[in-house]
Structure 1
């Protein structure tokens, strides 16, 4: 049997694409769950996540169009653009095309985060797990190199790791949201204050979309926020805590008091040794976003 060198190169590029896309998804999970926020800067992790995704997507596109090069011409241009049109392997190639198109849409959506809003953007971004699943199916169905059990297991292991981490993170997120709902009820009628860590804050503006009365992303790129939250703004403030991908916002509940609105305070980008001065309590430590009761978590 004569092995087409072009097919071999295209297959190698496809496997490399899957590796980088898997890394991007795992890094994305770390960003969403805040697993590495204490050991790695959010901006560094976000840059690494974007780089892995871009490399993986680029290699995936090269892999797809490289199928047009072999002399047997079993794949045509329409087959790598429109799903399920290939005459030889419509389903296997079709799911691969859908996976690549979803990932391309997700890459484009990165430029429209603020326009879409955090929740819509995050819901769209969750399709990355489905896209990787489809890409795994594409390899198992169409990949001539995956006929043996060893290669099949090697292909399935990253997918199983991704699913396991996603399920673990989802359960943890539901527990945290349930706890946050209980705290929201307890915050009512109390003196509720907001603090933003300027070292961690990445100025995405998702907090402003959730609670525009509390947070404002200024024209100079700095985040301004109300240090004291009115009772009717507690729900929005808690939603902003959940939405913040950098885990930079904390909410503190004090004793019962009448709530007066303070002026906007800016979370300036400064060095850790000289944090922005605050007037409502001590400046929070550089941890995950949290809701605190009387100074205790």
Structure 2
């Protein structure tokens, strides 16, 4: 294959991986609400993830011949691709496994992206194409790093930063009541991640939660309601439902 085409498989895989992470975080947190809804964002995340795997495999297949054995950048790339393929396989098994067991495996995508980024930068340094990667690579890498870091900040911090608006439950400071529609959603680990003192997933995958948590938990419960992909969590405070 032409030497001018081979590098583009890797570059496009790099961009697709970064965009996949961004869409995944926005899907899980519910920070972005467009006219098409969260379903469209989730499908975009899945399509970009598929492109990442396909382009990564093509990049490896067209570049593996003649590679020097033992080069760190190539080792990082191959390990990152292996992790990415594993994440893609487990994503296809999501419906047949407990979400609490599946989620840590899916989060290995963060590791795959960082390994891919290091592979790209070391490769650019070795090939003398750092100026090209600096412009295009930083453009997609900085938002990915920023969104990933924000993903793991607690809701009160996000409110102070202006990332999310204060929920009505936080302003009311009254008695909090939580209801979960078990018929709508089975991805209860998202609730536990956002409000671990209110929601707890048992070994068999069932959910236990406090129906009347402390008012101080209102912001975290509201974050869990936003993160629920099926909108199965309902929050009521002083007559205001969320």
**CA offsets per residue over residues 62-109 of structure 1, 9 Å max, x none?**
1101124xxxx423xxxxxxxxxx52x521000001111111111111
* Counterpart Cα distance in 2 of 1:191 and 1:31: 26
Closer, same or farther in 2 for the Cα pair 1:44/1:38, shift >3 Å?
Answer: closer
Aligned counterpart, 2:2: 6
Q: Which residue, out of 122, 140, 152, partners 1:158?
A: 140
Aligned counterpart, 2:187: 206
Root mean square deviation, CA, Å: 4.0
| Structure 2 gaps, min length 5 | 159-165, 192-198
Question: Residues 1-297 of structure 1 correspond to what in structure 2 (within 5 A)?
Answer: 6-68=2-64, 73-75=65-67, 86-87=68-69, 90-143=71-124, 145-173=127-155, 175=157, 192=177, 194=179, 203-207=184-188, 241=225, 244-252=228-236, 292-295=237-240
* Counterpart Cα distance in 1 of 2:183 and 2:141: 30
Q: TM-score, normalised by structure 2?
A: 0.69
Work out whether residues 113 and 121 of structure 1, in 8 Å CA contact, stay in contact via their aligned partners in 2. Answer: yes
Aligned counterpart, 2:196: none
Work out whether residues 83 and 112 of structure 2, in 8 Å CA contact, stay in contact via their aligned partners in 1. Answer: yes
* Counterpart Cα distance in 1 of 2:7 and 2:183: 38
SS at match of 2:234: strand
Closer, same or farther in 2 for the Cα pair 1:192/1:152, shift >3 Å?
Answer: closer
**Bigger radius of gyration:** 1
Which structure's residues are more often helix, by fraction?
Answer: 2
Closer, same or farther in 2 for the Cα pair 1:42/1:230, shift >3 Å?
Answer: closer
* Counterpart Cα distance in 1 of 2:146 and 2:201: 36
| Structure 1 gaps, min length 5 | 76-85, 218-224, 253-291
